[in-house]
Amino acid sequence: MHLLQAVLAATASAVLSGATSPPATSPSLAAFSYNRTGFFLHGKPFVIIGGQMDPQRIPYDFWPQRIVAAKAMGINTIFSHVFWNEMEPEKGKWKGKEPANNVNDFVSIAKKEGMYVVLRPGPYVGAERDWGGLPYWLSRIHGLKVRRYNEPFLHATKKYFARLARDLARFQVTRGGNIIMVQLENGDSSYRGDMQYKQALRNITASLFDVPLYTADSGESLQPEDGKIPHALSAAYDGPQGARVRDEAIADTPSPGPLLDGDAYISKPLQYGSAAHHHETQDEPGLVKSYLGNVHKALSANKSLNLYMLHGGTNFGLSAGSLSTGNRTMPWTNSHYAGSPLDEAGRTTPLYHLLRSEILKHVPDASGIPDPPENEPLMATEAFHLKPYGSILDTVAHTKTRQTPEYMENLKQSQGLILYEHRVQKPARGTLRAGDRPRDRIIVYVNNRRKGTIDSFYTRPAAVDLSLNKGDLLQLLVENAGRASSSRVDDPFKGINGTVTVGDSVVVGWKIRQVPCKEPPLLKSPLVGSIQKGIMPVYYSGRFKVPGLGEGEPFSLRDTYLTIRGGTRGIVWINGFNLGRYWIVGPQQSLFLPGALLKPGRVNRVTVLEMKPWNVSLVARGETAMRWENHPDRDAPP
């Protein structure tokens, strides 16, 4: 055993045994501490007026503007998730210095503005993120079980936290910085409430960070009772109800600590679906009244809270997860908490100003709070056409052969599409069955022509009946629509694994092609042939020019909402950056396109992978507002 392996093994053993358990109180916590009724910052009473915004959902160039806007609303503390799967997308490949992941800079900007930070690093965070923020490669580690008292998982978590602490521990308030607390896990009680796991996680975190630790659980039923961890503050969300349940659950705790509404909801996430209608928050006066009432009750009693989400931001690329119930997968939209006080483009909304007015009533000295920023206009563009330039079959980089299909995780693929192809050796008739269930959307082709779709978006996916002759090419294209962000986190696998049958015939012998969709392909020749109904997915491409910026003008003056017309479902890239998915069923019909991704005064390239091509061209346009619409899903089962 190498020395490093021996050290890590010894560390894991100590963690599992609980040997590093911290005392109930520690002098290092004096910079930020709490008693039964309140928090104390450098010995003075401190009420946390928090707002949730996640730096990895916001373009790096816009972090200062978003933080200043939070400060202007009366917020004094930013709560931030950290997504492990973005920091370490492949095992051992740390990406913390990339702009979108440089949490150090985010914390530094907050400190410069006099703002404090609460870190929420997980390892599981939920938050409508793919696999709740866990990296896909954990599923490849033998014997690993996530969110459990499991040595492989704790070993991986220890390494992740240690690498995060190497960058962020110096920003703790105990060392002159502005990080005042670190959250352990997230909503663990609703999942399992494994106390051994939580104690081990507490010990790992306490060995790396000096500031107080806390947990956050729903105020429903006995979840705060299941979620509490010794020597960590218990926070509950769900407003007054959560506070009441939390107090009942921890009544026998020696130092229960003050009330903190860890997620004081002021907006809602959205899923794709014909019936998933978007409603502007300001158009729901009952909701607005309840949001304001919760803030008033908390701050009037000097109780702390975290407004969730203050700024929802964007699940760029394929980073959004799904809500999985039973065998059904319902993907979250790219637009995250679109009804937040700061909208997806970072502009203030009527809800922002209502909440600001309420918060300022409870701030003893508002002289240091700046005026709200002026909302900059968004950019509109002329419509421009996207022309087909390649089939998905022309762009596959990786090909493997297997007797039976395998999950994409087993093939070291995190996201995107995977294509399984079989050359028929003998005739087969009957219903296609592929693995235990669709994971998530199986588009069935024979000889490059679509025969049907088996979609886990529906409780009872459509059946696809086939009649295969010798020499036919059976093709199963599987789309990963996002791993479960809650509930079914024990089952992150996507694609097809195991036996495929057509009627009574077992189909053996497959060629597997991987399409991760991280960047669009570069093809030198245009697509040959016309766009015909039922063909395999096609790449489209088009260009548009953006006006230049004057000296000192911000990139945000080129923010826009990109709308694609003429397509059904697909993925969009701008200048090679994966912007996200679109799906005509809605409710989201546009994708937020930050000006920081554009080239002012120059030509910009839009690439689209259309999953169900039927038009000779698509039409794209930059608009000044998000477009919300719903349409029927023509692939829905009868």
Reply yes or no on domain 384-389+520-623 having CATH 2.60.120.260. Answer: yes
pLDDT above 90 coverage of the chain, percent: 76
Going by pLDDT thresholds of 50, 70 and 90, the confidence category of residue 210 is very high
pLDDT of 247 strictly over 70: no
pLDDT of 5 strictly over 60: no
Going by pLDDT thresholds of 50, 70 and 90, the confidence category of residue 8 is very low
Residue range 94-105: mean pLDDT, rounded? 97
pTM over 0.85: yes
Q: Which residues of 163-188 are buried (b: 16+ CB within 10 A; e: fewer)?
A: bbbebbbebbbbeebbbbbbbbbbbb
533 CB-near residues (< 8 Å, 6+ apart): 614
DSSP for residue 132: G
Phi-psi region at 304: left, alpha or beta (left = phi > 0; alpha = psi -120 to 50)? beta
Indicate the fold that domain 396-515 takes in CATH: Jelly Rolls (2.60.120)
pLDDT of 18 strictly over 60: no
Torsion of CA 149, 152, 158, 160, to 10 degrees: -120
Cite the residue boundaries of each domain of the chain with CATH code 3.20.20.80: 44-368
- Cα Rg of the chain, angstroms: 25
Higher pLDDT, 488 or 627: 627
Higher pLDDT, 155 or 11: 155
Mean pLDDT of the chain: 89
Q: Is 370 exposed, middle or buried (0-12, 13-18, 19+ CB in 10 A)?
A: exposed
Instruction: Please give the CATH superfamily to which domain 44-368 belongs.
Output: Glycosidases (3.20.20.80)
Q: Is 498 exposed, middle or buried (0-12, 13-18, 19+ CB in 10 A)?
A: exposed
Residue range 465-470: mean pLDDT, rounded? 97
Tell me which H or E stretch contains 5: helix 3-17
Higher pLDDT, 6 or 152: 152
Helix, coil or strand: residue 6: helix
**DSSP result, 115-131:** -EEEEE--S---TTBGG
Torsion of CA 456, 461, 464, 465, to 10 degrees: 140
pLDDT of 224 strictly over 60: no
248 CB-near residues (< 8 Å, 6+ apart): none
pLDDT (0 to 100) of residue 610: 97
Cite the residue boundaries of each domain of the chain with CATH code 2.60.120.260: 384-389+520-623, 396-515
pLDDT of 467 strictly over 90: yes
pLDDT of 25 strictly over 50: no
Going by pLDDT thresholds of 50, 70 and 90, the confidence category of residue 216 is confident
pLDDT one-digit tens code per residue, 406-459: 999 999 999 999 999 999 999 999 999 999 999 999 999 999 999 999 999 999
Residue range 30-59: mean pLDDT, rounded? 95
